[in-house]
Structure 1
Amino acid sequence: MKIAFHGAARTVTGSKHLVTLNDNTQILLDCGLFQGMGEATENLNSNFGFDPSKVTHLILSHAHIDHCGLIPRLVAQGFAGHIYSTPATKDLTRILLLDSAKIQEQDAEYANKKRPEGEPEEQPLYTEEDVVKTLTLFKTIDYNTDFAISPAITVSFTDAGHIVGSAAVHLTLKEDGKSTRLTFSGDVGRYGDLLLKSPQTFSQADYIIMESTYGDSLHKDLEPIENMLFEIIQQTCMVKKGKVVIPAFSVGRTQELLYALNSLELKHKLPAVNYYVDSPLSMQATQVLKDHPEVYNNGVKEVMKTDHDPFDFKGLKFIESVEESKALNNDSRPCVIISASGMADGGRVRHHIRNTIGDHKNTILMVGYCSPGSLGGRLLAGDQSVYLFRETYQVVAEIQSIKSMSAHGDYEDLLHFLSSQRPEQVKQLFLVHGEYPVQQHFASRLNDHGFKQVMIPEHHHVFDCNI
């Protein structure tokens, strides 16, 4: 057996890990889009580093676009096997990939309008037609169910607690008369998450592919999330009469924010302003979460005994049309705007930031991971000016963050996730989905906890488990 790392290797996007058995059966774990990699992004997304037509099976850990976003391109280039995921992941993947295809096609159309005469037309990474074909290949597997995808390969999912439907993937591989167990963590969520169940324990693995996004961080805030939201909204909207703009991913973070704001209303503490979710995708993702109550933790289930919809409250409005979105920028009244993307590197939120960044009355509130080069990352780093829509803007608005709202576990959560394992029985632990300096810190912690065989693979690195 060999494992090749074709994405999320010493970086946090583009998750793709290819397991090749001795009989040349190929199992691809995730097939994600690279994001925020500067000039290298286009090339990374255009070239897999392997032949899609030779991949036998695809197993998807969850629906975030950096884990599923290149599946339609894989299909367009020859992959014809099944795609295995949890039911909720399939539902989320459908809306995210259709949205992504629309963006790909619009971007290509815009680029072709601007291209110099004689240059070849730019093509989208994939089309809506490719997505429709992709969706026919899905097969869903419930959590904690052993499913044989071939006589030699059994897969099971345990809840990873990251987003609705997210799973750690566990493979039992039979070859050459022996059985090997490989676990891929996907993205690991928080223990004690606001909405979701905590990550589940899992059986002993021989090999582990482990995410490490926050391998050197602790998500410790002094106050509960809803209290921090109350203080920021109260000070900005009610005292300074400004706006709070919150860049938030459509899947996961937006729903957590809605739940926390709903909790404030239940306690009669919600500031009386308008709350806008300016993202059609967020509305669809919220509905998927409502359709899968099996992922809720006991706290949410308790709330639902008296509040049938914990994601709705007075003053909330979902914005769909571009016209409505633009109208928010012309409305000077205090309000809260939640809009994608979470790193503020694309989407409608950039327009809202441009409209509010130059006024000290306003607050831009970051609530999740931002890569250092993203607009959100630069704001968190304290940059005094930022480049937006080909213009430089001075950062006058207040920049705040709520660290504990990350859907990724911190290093204590990651170590907790691994606590069911006997370190001496793990032949090799691979760290993926993290920035290299962070991974080096986490590798040192793992060594201290008994995991002596830790590797941080580079892009396209191939590890031979037979040696």
Structure 2
Amino acid sequence: MDVTVKFLGGAGAVTGSKYLIDLGEFEFLVDCGLYQGPRFLRERNWDKFPMPPMEMEAIILTHAHLDHIGYLPKLVKQGFSGPIYCTEATAELAKILLLDSGKLQEEEAEYAKKKGYSKHTDPQPLYTQDDAEAVFPQLVPQDFERPFKINKNVTVTYYHAGHILGASIVKIIIKGETQEKKLVFSGDLGRYHDPILYPPTRIPKADVLWIESTYGDRVSPPVRAEDELGRAIRDTFDRGGLVIIPAFAVGRTQLVMYYLFQLMEKGKIPKVPIFLDSPMAINATKLYLDFKNDHQLAAVLEEENNHPFDHSQLHYFQKQEQSRSLNEFRGNAIIISASGMATGGRVLHHLFHHLPSEKNGVIFVGYQAEGTRGRRLVEGEPETSIYGRSVPVKAKIYQIEGLSAHADQSELMDWAEGFTDRPKFTFIIHGEEKSATVLGRKLKDELGWNTIIPQYLESFMLFENI
């Protein structure tokens, strides 16, 4: 049996993760991500898939972020009918995120048609909400640390990766005629000292390793995010203002909610209303209650009506009327709303109404990509355009470091040092060119590993005649 891999995404970019493993008579995909970011990358979502989707046997998912699952609706629409394996929490998060993605695809196509900026006379969405829903019956949830077969010769095991709820490291054992080989995919690795999620599991052996490199070129500053968050909130409240926290619905929002509860319980900030104004974030937060074994807060959540996701100061706003009622709110309060980079979503109308007041504060709790409104605000833009109108930026802008969901370079190296044997190959994936290059060189110099930075659509022979 020969084993090859073809890199359909996640190579030379932090997006679109797709790795096609070919065993000859059995082909399966690890991750099925959507390309996001610059236009030249997004256009790959429309490229023809390199093999008939109906001929592929299975898909294995690492976690539920769209750059790892967002291409599923298109693949299913094109004929893929096999099982899609994932952890239980990933299955539930995938349903939430894929439906939202389908809605956004529809809205984008409609907007392009209305404004006439598409090269097509009748622009169509990449997929619809109905297409997203068609994926759900094919999801096959699996437990952590319990091996399962996807083929007579292929066994898969999921291990905790941190990063977000349900995220996993994937170990794949391929049984050949004369020997077994282990493939290990890191997925996206989380932080070692995350207060909610388990640290990434150490894996002792891999014949071939795929390791993410999102932050492969940087070490996070040694700051206490909870203290920094508390300082920014107290500073704003001292001015008599209101705090707005743009936050991603999955992962970052729940971490912020945890820190806010801790700060209030310890008396480090006053007990004021907290409004979680994001239907997706609310739905994602409920999953932390459903999957208590997938994180470290099981004991904390047993305190009925007095834990980070359910306490007297916390208010969940699902309806738009509730959201709009906050436009005229004055005084001390905290609004958490998506999106995390202020590129869309309900947070925009909160910024529209509250940026013009110097009393208020806007706290960004994650990386702000170049070209986003969040990045421009953090860099001191004096006014911003929202809903086609110019809005003066008088509110104070804060950015809190240390809340990233990705392992930094030192944590990636720490995880890599858990391997007792050097892999035959180590593919450096899911990183921009600089971060992948720096991490690849460090693994080679310090651990003596054979590292490879694959390119888009590049193929490699992993094993011959096993």
Give the TM-score normalised by structure 2. 0.91
- Tell me the equivalent position of 1:4: 6
Residues 202 and 415 of structure 2 are in contact (CA less than 8 Å); yes or no, is this contact kept in structure 1?
yes
Per-residue CA deviation, residues 70-96 of structure 1 (Å, 9 max, x unaligned), is 111110011111000011111111111
Offset at residue 41 of structure 1 (A): 4.7
What's 1:164 paired with?
165
Report how far residue 446 of structure 1 moved.
1.3
Match for residue 205 of structure 2? 204
Deviation at 1:444, TM superposition (A): 2.2
Cross-structure match for 1:229: 229
- Alignment partner, residue 21 of structure 2: 19
**Residue in 1 aligned with 2:321?**
323
Residue equivalent to 2:441: 444
Distance 2:424 2:82 in 1: 30
| Residues 1:267 and 2:266 aligned together | yes
- Does structure 1 residue 434 correspond to structure 2 residue 431? yes
Distance 1:71 1:386, change over 3 A: same
Report the CA distance shift for 1:119/1:12 in structure 2 as closer, same or farther (over 3 A). Answer: closer
Q: Kindly tell me: are residues 383 and 208 of structure 1, through their superposed partners in 2, closer, same or farther at Cα, counting changes over 3 Å?
A: farther
**In 2: Cα distance, 1:430 partner to 1:388 partner:** 42
In 2, Cα distance between the equivalents of 1:119 and 1:420?
Answer: 51
Closer/same/farther in 2, CA of residues 361 and 36 from structure 1, 3 Å limit? farther
Range with bigger deviation, 50-59 or 153-162? 50-59
Q: Which deviates the most, 67-76 or 8-17?
A: 8-17
Asked if structure 2 preserves the Cα contact closer than 8 Å seen for 1:49 and 1:460, the reply is no
- Is the CA contact (8 Å cut-off) linking 1:59 and 1:85 kept in structure 2? yes
Equivalent AA in structure 2 for residue 7 of structure 1: G
Match of 1:369 among 364, 367, 370: 367
1:16-44 C-alpha deviation (Å, 9 max, x unpaired): 111122x152221111122222x325412
Q: Displacement, 1:221?
A: 4.0
- Report 1:65-464 matches (<5 A): 65-115=66-116, 119-175=120-176, 177-223=178-224, 225-236=225-236, 238-297=237-296, 300-304=297-301, 306=303, 309-381=307-379, 386=384, 388-390=386-388, 395-422=393-420, 425-464=422-461
Question: Secondary structure of 2:345's partner?
Answer: coil
8 Å CA contact 1:262–1:312 kept in 2: the answer is: no
Inter-partner Cα distance in structure 2 for 1:195 and 1:201? 18
**Structure 1 pair 383/419, CA: closer, same or farther in 2 (3 Å)?**
farther
Question: Contact 1:36–1:371 (CA<8 Å) still a contact in 2?
Answer: no
Q: Distance in 1 between matches of 2:337 and 2:448?
A: 40
- Kindly state the Cα deviation for residue 305 of structure 1 after the two structures are TM-superposed: 5.1
Distance in 2, Cα, partners of 1:365 & 1:117: 35
Q: Aligned letter for 2:115? A: K
2: CA distance, partners of 1:381 / 1:54: 49
**Residues 11 and 435, structure 1, Cα contact 8 Å, conserved in 2:** yes
Distance 2:84 2:358 in 1: 49
State the shift of 1:302 in Å: 4.2
Would the alpha carbon gap of residues 222 and 41 (structure 1) be closer, same or farther in structure 2, given more than 3 Å must change? closer
1:94–1:345 distance in 2 versus 1, CA, 3 Å:
same
Q: What is the CA deviation profile of residues 433-456 of structure 1, one whole-angstrom value per residue up to 9, with x for unaligned ones?
A: 222112222222212321431122
Structure 2: gaps (5+ residues): none
Structure 1 residues 222 and 24: alpha-carbon distance in aligned structure 2, compared to 1, 3 A threshold = same
- Cα distance change, pair 7–243 in 1 and its aligned pair in 2 (3 A): farther
1:305-332 per-position Cα deviation (integer Å, ceiling 9, x unaligned): 5456432233322222223323323334
What's the counterpart of residue 28 of structure 1? Answer: 29
| Greater mean deviation of Cα atoms: 146-155 or 28-37 | 28-37
- 1:77–1:372: structure 2 CA closer, same or farther, 3 Å change rule? same
AA at the equivalent of 2:406: H
Structure 2 counterpart of 1:233, one-letter code: I
Q: 1:118 Cα deviation (Å)? A: 11
What CA distance in whole angstroms lies between the structure 1 residues aligned with 2:12 and 2:383?
28
Residues 8 and 15 in structure 1, CA contact (< 8 A), matched pair in contact too: yes
Matches of 2:166 and 2:436, distance apart in 1 = 26
Structure 1, residues 44-88: CA drift from partner, whole Å, max 9, x if none? Answer: 222254232332210011111221111111100111110000111
Counterpart-to-counterpart distance in 1, 2:205 and 2:11:
24
Give the Cα–Cα distance (whole angstroms) in 2 for the partners of residues 378 and 445 of structure 1: 33
In structure 2, C-alpha distance between the alignment counterparts of 1:116 and 1:248, rounded to whole Å: 30
Tell me: CA distance 1:9–1:358, structure 2 relative to 1, closer, same or farther (3 Å).
farther
Letter of the 1:281 partner, please give it: M
8 A contact 1:53–1:80 mirrored in 2? yes
TM-score (norm 1): 0.91
Cα distance in 2 for partners of 1:389, 1:9 equals 36
CA distance in 2, matches of 1:122, 1:233: 45
Paired with 1:430 and 1:31, the residues of 2 have a C-alpha distance of 18
- Does the 8 Å CA contact 1:203/1:421 hold for their aligned counterparts? yes
Identify which range, 326-335 or 184-193, moves more after superposition. Answer: 326-335
Letter in 2 for 1:437: K
Secondary structure of the corresponding residue to residue 193 of structure 1: coil
Q: What percentage of aligned pairs have identical amino acids?
A: 37
CA contact (8 A) 1:279 1:348 kept: yes
Q: Secondary structure at the match of 1:194?
A: coil
Code of the residue aligned with 1:280 in structure 2: it is P
